[in-house]
């Protein structure tokens, strides 16, 4: 029998030593019990979140957003809140959430990078939601393909898309009106947006 041969005997078990197996069985039982308890508590929290969201006076504004769903809609509502003075314009929210890029200028050199000092979960909420809208909206799908063809990476595209969405969503939130896809597409056409032209070409 040579080294590297496939004919080496393969044991049915790694070990049959009861001193090893018995504690392992106890440990597995402990972990299963912990997971079950944790799962029950998570379900209770999710039920409570759903109840609070359903009772919120502005829930419909976020529940009707494309791709939001029962998980992301409450997160988006929490991200905005109800204090309109907190974000006086879309740019203030984009910067706070870390979605707006930072432009640095030194002499003749200019470079752009994303914001390091930002609430990670808040930024993650907007980026995740932006990704969920791609299969739901014609313009987000067209924008994603446009950026992909330009050589942009997936996460960079989603951050850029989240930046665009925040301008739209801030206006809806500020005016207390639900997002209207047809109205937004009409606005793109009125502005002769390259994205609108791309949509018409599809």
> Domain coordinates of the chain in residue numbers?
17-55, 58-201
- Looking at the predicted structure, is the pLDDT value of residue 1 above 50? no
pTM for the predicted model, two decimal places: 0.78
Q: What is the pLDDT of residue 12?
A: 63
Q: Model confidence over 16-56: pLDDT tens digits?
A: 888 888 999 999 999 999 999 999 999 999 999 999 999 99
- Relative orientation angle of helices 120-133 and 69-80, to the nearest 10 degrees: 130
Q: What is the pLDDT of residue 66?
A: 95
The whole-number average pLDDT for the span 60-88 is: 95
Q: What is the pLDDT of residue 148?
A: 93
Cα 190 to Cα 54: distance, rounded to the nearest angstrom: 36
Q: What is the pLDDT of residue 185?
A: 84
Q: What is the pLDDT of residue 56?
A: 96
The whole-number average pLDDT for the span 153-171 is: 95
The more confidently predicted of residues 64 and 107 is 64
Handedness of CA 88, 92, 93, 96 (dihedral sign): negative
Cα 134 to Cα 145: distance, rounded to the nearest angstrom: 10
- Looking at the predicted structure, is the pLDDT value of residue 2 above 70? no
Q: Model confidence over 101-158: pLDDT tens digits?
A: 777 777 676 666 667 788 899 999 999 999 999 999 999 999 999 999 999 999 999 9
The whole-number average pLDDT for the span 177-192 is: 86
Cα 70 to Cα 188: distance, rounded to the nearest angstrom: 29
- Looking at the predicted structure, is the pLDDT value of residue 159 above 90? yes
The more confidently predicted of residues 64 and 117 is 64
- Looking at the predicted structure, is the pLDDT value of residue 3 above 60? no
**What average pLDDT does the chain have?**
88
Question: Is residue 112 a contact partner of residue 102, using CB atoms and an 8 Å limit?
Answer: yes
Q: Which two tokens stand for residue 152?
A: 């942009």
Q: What is the pLDDT of residue 113?
A: 63
For tokens 């402990």, what's the residue?
30
- Looking at the predicted structure, is the pLDDT value of residue 6 above 70? no
């Amino acid at each position: 029998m040579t080294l590297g041969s496939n004919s080496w005997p393969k044991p049915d078990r790694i070990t049959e030593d009861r001193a090893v197996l018995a504690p392992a069985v106890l440990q597995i039982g402990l972990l299963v019990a912990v997971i079950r308890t944790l799962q029950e508590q998570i379900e209770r929290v999710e039920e409570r979140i759903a109840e609070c969201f359903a009772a919120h006076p502005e829930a419909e504004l976020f529940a009707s957003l494309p791709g939001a769903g029962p998980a992301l809609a409450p997160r988006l509502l929490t991200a905005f809140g109800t204090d309109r003075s907190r974000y006086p314009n879309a740019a203030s929210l984009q910067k706070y959430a870390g979605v707006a890029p930072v432009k640095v200028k030194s002499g003749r050199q200019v470079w752009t990078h994303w914001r390091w000092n930002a609430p990670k979960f808040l930024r993650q909420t907007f980026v995740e939601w932006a990704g969920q809208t791609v299969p739901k909206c014609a313009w987000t799908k067209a924008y994603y393909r446009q950026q992909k063809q330009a050589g942009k990476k997936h996460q960079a595209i989603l951050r850029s898309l989240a930046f665009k969405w925040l301008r739209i969503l801030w206006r809806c939130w500020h005016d207390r009106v639900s997002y209207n896809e047809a109205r937004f597409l009409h606005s793109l056409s009125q502005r002769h947006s390259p994205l609108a032209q791309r949509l018409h070409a599809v």
